[in-house]
Every structure is written in C-alpha cells, then in structure tokens.
Amino acid sequence: MNAPLTAPLLPDVQPRPVPPEALAALQARFGAQFSAAQAVREQHGRDESAFTHVPPPAAVVFAESTQDVADAVRLAAQWRVPVIPYGIGSSLEGHLLAVQGGISLDLSRMNRVLAVHAEDLTATVQPGVTRQQLNEALRHLGLFFPIDPGADATLGGMTATRASGTNAVRYGTMRDNVLALEVVTASGAVVRTGTRARKSSAGYDLTRLFVGSEGTLGIFTEITLRLYPLPEAVSAAVCSFPSVEAAVRTTMAIIQMGVPIARCELLDARTVRAVNRHSGLALREEPMLLMEFHGSPGGVREQAETVQALAAEHGGQAFEWASTPEERTRLWTARHHAYFAAVQSRPGCRCITTDVCVPISQLADHVTAAVAEADAAGLPYFLVGHVGDGNFHMGYLIDPDDAGERARAEALNAALVQRAIAGGGTCTGEHGVGLHKMGFLRAEAGEEALALMRAIKRALDPHDILNPGKIVAG
C-alpha cells in the first residue's frame, strides 16, 4: 500500500492470528455455512474503496438466523477473533476490510421481509434485504421506503453506515427511518432496541447509537423501518445551468424557501457525459439539477413552478419534465448508476470518493473550490451531490498502481474535507468513516468527543472483537 493511504489513514496494527481451534469450532458449528476457500475469503475482503491490498479474512460464515449470528459471535468472543459483518460489499471507505484479521460474517442469506404493517407504515426486515427488494415487496401496498444509496445496498449495511441518498432532503436518512433493531452484541446476547411507535422518550436512544456504528458495537439481525405512502403525484424535472455554482445557488434558494422538494441532485458536465454514455441518454452535457416533486397533483405543479422560476433567476435553461413513470425511472436509474458510469469511463481505475456535508449557505463555495482544485490537479473526476442537504461527492478516478495519482487524489480529498470541517460541516454525510476517514473524524470531533466514543466502544465491546480497527481505533 502506498504511503499517502497507509499513514495516517490505516492504523498501524497487525492482523491478529486466528487460532486454528477457533476455525475448527466455527466449522464444526456451521458446516456448509462455513468457508475458508481463497475465492470466498477474497470476495469478502474487498469493497468499493480504494484499499486493494489488505489481506482477506481468515474465513467466512454465512449466517441464516439470529441464532447463527449469536453463535458465531459467541465462538469468536471465546477466541478473541474479530468478526466483520458483510452485506453486499458496496461500502466505500474500507468498512469491511479485515485490518486486524478475523472472520467475515455474511448476512446476505438473512434476506426475508419479516413483517409489513401497512396501516402503521412500518416494516421489519432481516439485514440482508436490499433496498430494491424491500420496495418490490411494498409496491402492491402503495407504500415505499425512500432511502436509496447509489448501490442496491442491504438494509443492514445502510443501517450500519447511516446511509441516505437522493430522497433524504424530504424523508431523512437511516437515522430518521430506523425505528427499532434486534442486535447481537459482543457477548453474543440478543438485544432489542426501540419499538414500533413513531417516537419515544424511553431511556437512552440505543437505536440511534447503533445506526452508523459500522459493525463496531453490534450486528443487526432485524431492522424495523418507517414506510411512506407512495405519493399521489410524482414529477421529475431536469434543468441545465451555466455553471455548477448557479445550480448550487438555485438549490440554496429552494431550501431556504421551504419548498418540500423530494429530490434535488447535482451532476457536473463530466458526470452527465459519463451517464449519457453508460445509460444511453441524451442529456445536455452541462451542469444539471435532477429534481423530483411528490404530493398532490396541484401541489406538485406548484412546487415545480416555484422551482422553475428560481432556476430561471440563476440562468437555468431547458427545464424539462419527465412525467411518465418510464421516463422518470430511466432518469433515476441513470443517476443511481452515475458512480459506476464514472468508474467505467476510465477502465482499470479505482475511485477515491469523498463525501462531505456542509451548512447550505456555504455549499456553492465548497463545490466551486473543490472543482477548481480538481481541475488544477488534472485528475479525472466526477461530481454528484444530494445538494438539497448540503451533501456532495467528488470521485477521483486513479490508476491504482500510480502512487503519484493516489497522492494527488488524497491531497484533493484532504483539502476538501478539511475545508468542510472548518466550515462547520462534516467529513462524511452518508458514506461513513470506515478506515479512510478515521483521521478526518478525529479532526472533526476532537479528542474529547473521540474519547467518549472510545469509552462507549470499550463498554459495549470490551475485547474489541466487533469490526476492530474502524472509526475510533487507535
């Protein structure tokens, strides 16, 4: 691994050896659900981050029930073996890499929708259910679950990273939409947090503590989510702008006016070009806002008219409607593929992704500075943003074998993140800390807050077996 990534971003730890007796005990308990095959281990030792050289876990256990998870953790605890939960491998910051060795606990077979309470607008799922799978199961009921990261991630992984996506500006993030959890803790105990009530003041908010804990405090085995009625009317619109700044300033005006926009996505010209090629679209290759409005037919029309007027004030052109479901699906599918479209635009590349969120009054400054720095550095990149939240991503497309490109990308990333922190924002809006952002978390939270996080980690996982070496390690 190259210097700019390893120091200080990867903690200086050695993989702990996994005792053969521990592997034997896991194999005895799990039989065909246990694998130490090289290919299986390697598949569970990589994600979408730029870290490519961390050794894979020593073995993989495929859990099929809460009991399986509890037994796997209990055996691991007995031998002090790290356990890393695994959903679908779409994390972006190195969350699931086995930096201290141990086993991967694959939850993808726990993929049942356990209950849908349509009248209460709640559903309970196993952690391996993906967001698209859940929405398939809900559609006939006239309901949906709004949180939509780019990948078709598992709801377990989305809970673990406090994920959000394009709808968060209207519907909130996983923080707001997880009502209750069943969690296996570091001792193998099965704990329930929260209830199906919409709100509660009953004691410490354990649910919110687990949401975003990235597998370091417990492993989710059931997740109860808030659902929403499918809106009566939906319309999408695209609008092109003379500059990224003009698009961002339009967004700021929309939010400050309180327009209840459901989605407000920024793509820069390069990203529109990649999306056009990848998804066979013919969007104008200029900075673009891709928006969606939810409500009654009259309400949707009214929102769109307000937004169109605001866009025009900032030089927005070619405001176009996508009112049929097919057109809308095509646009949003293309948007969800933007990351992969960009990565495929440079064959063989790895992507170093950034993800910051800033107070919205500063958004235009942060985006334009990031673009100027990336242009000056001469690296290929893409820019997308859930800009209604003040959240945006740059992805620097690097040759993984070129240490110079890595260093330049990391320097761009560091400058952008440090600027966000200095401006009262956060080093990650939705991707999480994983390995890559540990140094930035320290800068953002400060030593005192980090000490509290470490105290909580020690209290809940005294032997440091749950996804060790992430978030607060060191």
The stretches of 178-296 forming alpha helices (DSSP H) are 206-210, 244-256, 269-279
Tell me: does residue 393 bind a second copy (CB under 8 A).
Answer: no
Tell me: does residue 315 bind a second copy (CB under 8 A).
Answer: no
SS3 call for 244: helix
SS3 call for 12: coil
Site for a second copy in 351-370 (CB under 8 A): 355, 357-361
Pairing mode of beta strands 190-194, 178-184: antiparallel
As measured in angstroms, the least distance from the Cβ of 288 to a second copy is 22
Pick from 69, 310, 427, 465 the residue near a second copy by CB under 8 A.
427
Residue 395 Cα distances to 49, 341, 443, 459, angstroms: 11, 11, 22, 36
**Residues 296 and 232: beta-carbon distance below 8 Å:** yes
As measured in angstroms, the least distance from the Cβ of 320 to a second copy is 23
Tell me: does residue 24 bind a second copy (CB under 8 A).
Answer: no
| Closer of 278 and 442 to a second copy (Cβ) | 442
**Residues 437 and 353: beta-carbon distance below 8 Å:** no
Tell me: does residue 8 bind a second copy (CB under 8 A).
Answer: no
Pick from 32, 39, 199, 378 the residue near a second copy by CB under 8 A.
199
Tokens standing for residue 249? 């300033």
Report how many helices (DSSP H) and strands (DSSP E) the chain contains, helices first: 17, 19
Site for a second copy in 247-306 (CB under 8 A): 252, 255-258, 260, 295-296, 298-299, 302
| Closer of 65 and 200 to a second copy (Cβ) | 200
Pick from 6, 7, 42, 120 the residue near a second copy by CB under 8 A.
120
**Residues 252 and 303: beta-carbon distance below 8 Å:** no
Tally of CA atoms within 13 A in the half-sphere of 323 that contains its CB: 9
| Closer of 26 and 387 to a second copy (Cβ) | 387
Pick from 105, 123, 138, 168 the residue near a second copy by CB under 8 A.
168
| Closer of 53 and 117 to a second copy (Cβ) | 117
Tell me: does residue 163 bind a second copy (CB under 8 A).
Answer: yes
Tell me: does residue 16 bind a second copy (CB under 8 A).
Answer: no
Pick from 20, 325, 404, 446 the residue near a second copy by CB under 8 A.
446
Q: What is the CA radius of gyration of the chain?
A: 22
